[in-house]
């Protein structure tokens, strides 16, 4: 079994958009995130992106367009020397009450099954409490909140006071540099 680093997409790798990422022109990479992905590309960790894309369930874009955007994001990461071992997307709206929409752990369980991942030795990085809760709900012991995207606002929420096991860093690159096992 493999350890993995689970990464949220919007707010960790690319800018979070209040009106959704609906086309390639909406995609804005965090330069430090591309550098972080390049730095961990040689690590033994599986690199897995997990993303809620409710714009599909809300009828704002088609599933085909969302999948094409994800493929293009993966290609851009590869172009910058990074690696993506899997990308798992929940296309449902919150009202659809699925098991794959974070904070539910369904996407993480799908990835673990398909990629032979040991969740107890894996790490999750997100910019929202829903990401953190998805990791905890899946049995991931190490969770990291980054302050990019919605992270600064989420870090200030009262719930964070009760979650002292969550590490908080400014960016994905900061988180990667502070986890020596990623750079071995």
CATH of domain 4-183: 3.40.50.1000
Q: In what order do the strands lie in the sheet with 4-8?
A: 86-90, 46-52, 4-8, 123-126, 142-146, 167-169
- Asked whether the beta carbons of 14 and 30 are under 8 A apart, the reply is yes
Q: Cβ of 76: how many Cβ atoms within 10 Å?
A: 17
Average pLDDT in the chain = 94
Query: Of all residues in the chain, what percent carry a pLDDT higher than 90?
Result: 89
pLDDT of residue 159: 84
List 117's β-bridge partners, or say none.
2
In the predicted model, what is the mean pLDDT of residues 11-20?
94
DSSP string of 134-153?
A: HHHHHT--EEEEESTTTHHH
List 87's β-bridge partners, or say none.
49
pLDDT of residue 165: 86
Tens of pLDDT, residue by residue over 105-147, are 999 999 999 999 999 999 999 999 999 999 999 999 999 999 9
- What residue segments make up the domains of the chain, in order of their start? 4-183
Is pLDDT larger for residue 154 or for residue 9?
9
pLDDT of residue 41: 94
Residue 184's pLDDT band (cuts 50, 70, 90): low
pLDDT of residue 142: 93
Among all residues, which ones are annotated catalytic?
8, 10
pLDDT of residue 53: 95
Query: Of all residues in the chain, what percent carry a pLDDT higher than 70?
Result: 99
pTM listed for this prediction: 0.95
- Asked whether the beta carbons of 13 and 30 are under 8 A apart, the reply is yes
């Amino acid at each position: 079994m493999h350890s993995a680093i689970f990464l949220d997409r919007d707010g960790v790798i690319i800018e979070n958009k209040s009106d959704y990422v609906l086309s390639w022109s909406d995609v804005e990479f965090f330069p430090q995130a591309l550098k972080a992905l390049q730095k961990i590309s040689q690590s033994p960790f599986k690199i897995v992106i997990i993303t809620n894309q409710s714009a599909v369930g809300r009828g704002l874009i088609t599933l085909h367009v969302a999948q094409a955007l994800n493929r293009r994001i993966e290609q851009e990461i590869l172009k910058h020397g990074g690696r993506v071992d899997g990308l798992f997307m929940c296309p449902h709206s919150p009202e659809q009450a699925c098991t794959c929409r974070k904070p539910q752990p369904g996407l993480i369980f799908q990835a673990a099954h398909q990629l032979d991942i040991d969740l107890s030795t894996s790490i999750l990085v997100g910019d929202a409490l829903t990401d953190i809760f998805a990791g905890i709900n899946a049995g991931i012991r190490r969770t990291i909140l980054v302050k990019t995207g919605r992270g600064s606002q989420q870090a200030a929420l009262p719930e964070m006071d009760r979650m002292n096991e969550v590490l908080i860093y400014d960016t994905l690159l900061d988180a990667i540099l502070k986890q020596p096992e990623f750079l071995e």
